[in-house]
Amino acid sequence: MRTSKGFKNPRAQHGFQGRTCSIVGVGAYVPEKILTNAELERMVDTSDEWIVSRTGIKERRLAAENETTSDMASLAAMRAMQNANITPDQIDLIIVATLTPDMMFPSTACLVQHKIGARRSAAFDIEAACSGFIYALEIGQQFIMTRTYNTVLVIGAEKLSTIVDWTDRNTCVLFGDGAGAAILQHRPDAHGLLTACMGAEGDKAELLCMPGGGSKFPTTAETVANRLHYLRMDGKETYKNAVTAMVTAGQEALRRCEIDISQIKCIIPHQANRRIIDAVADRLGAKPEQVFINLEKYGNTSAASVAIALEEAVRTERIKQGDLVLLVVFGAGLTWAAAVIEW
């Protein structure tokens, strides 16, 4: 079904009568502590020039020792609720996307439910690494469209500082902590989330992983000594696959909506590496002014990355009602996703 605004709503095809689903409020939280490149120079053999030239990152936020993923998720959630004028009792479902949960179980979403007082909501986590927020948006949307629930809270939150090897100069410069949240509801006369393309390439799982702590390598003195509980990454191969995956996902999302990249007001890519962002934007044919980047302040916050950037873009009025927005991400797995939204 082609709309009066010149794009197709893929979800309106084949006579489907489901409700539309819109993001009606966003919120974000980043910790107070800032770790600059200059400080990293004193920790590992690196330099500000090396980090900026290869990644675009100037600083990142680190959670306090007693600050958990669920703490950050809850603060982002409460800000999203405030912006959407939503009370805790209105929330039907909480989905938290994270690869750094407070604990293996129960889910971080259950801990968030308690902290924000959403007593009547269902709650669960998903883990799709950096792609998690878009995966969670698509999952949450299904509950709105099918009228199962009226209000869904989606959160991307990470405390990556707990799994970063601070002796590895190739990875420790990249990551930071934070959380972003979105409230999903049906908004009459709005198309909202138009489409989401998701995929995975499990044969590339070892490019970015944390080997220890699961059933394959349960925690032992040996796994700790071998540093298996820290993030590991093949940077060169991750870069190549990330660009290809994000471009493919972005092009497919645009194709489904039958729109050109020029119709997108704001592109929010995964904030992982400036070189990746520039390469993806170039291959999609985007102009620099279309691309929103806050990587230099926060580094890669995994599942929180796109969510934090989306909140800032909305708050600074880079996105206004009626604008078309493209979110595009990749993550460990290798996972990838893209979404087109009418704001």
Q: Backbone phi, then psi, for 143, in 5-degree steps?
A: -70, -30
Secondary structure, 3-state, 274-334: HHHHHHHHHHHCCCHHHECCCHHHHCECHHHHHHHHHHHHHHCCCCCCCCEEEEEEEECCC
Q: Backbone phi, then psi, for 261, in 5-degree steps?
A: -60, -25
User: How far apart are the C-alpha atoms of 201 and 172, rounded to whole Å?
Assistant: 25
- Say which residue the tokens 């032992």 belong to: 220
Strands 266-269 and 324-331: parallel
Amino acid at 318: R
CB crowding 1-18: b at 16 or more within 10 Å, else e: eeeeeebbbbbbeeeeee
User: How far apart are the C-alpha atoms of 137 and 111, rounded to whole Å?
Assistant: 20
Closest CA to 30 of 134, 159, 132, 163: 159
User: How far apart are the C-alpha atoms of 328 and 311, rounded to whole Å?
Assistant: 15
User: How far apart are the C-alpha atoms of 174 and 299, rounded to whole Å?
Assistant: 6
- Just list the catalytic residues: 130, 270, 300
CB crowding 271-287: b at 16 or more within 10 Å, else e: bbbbebbbbbbeebebe
Spell out the residues 6+ positions from residue 28 whose beta carbon is closer than 8 angstroms to its own. Answer: 76, 79, 178, 179, 180, 181, 304, 307, 308, 311, 312
CA 296 to chain centre: 16
**35 beta partners:** 60
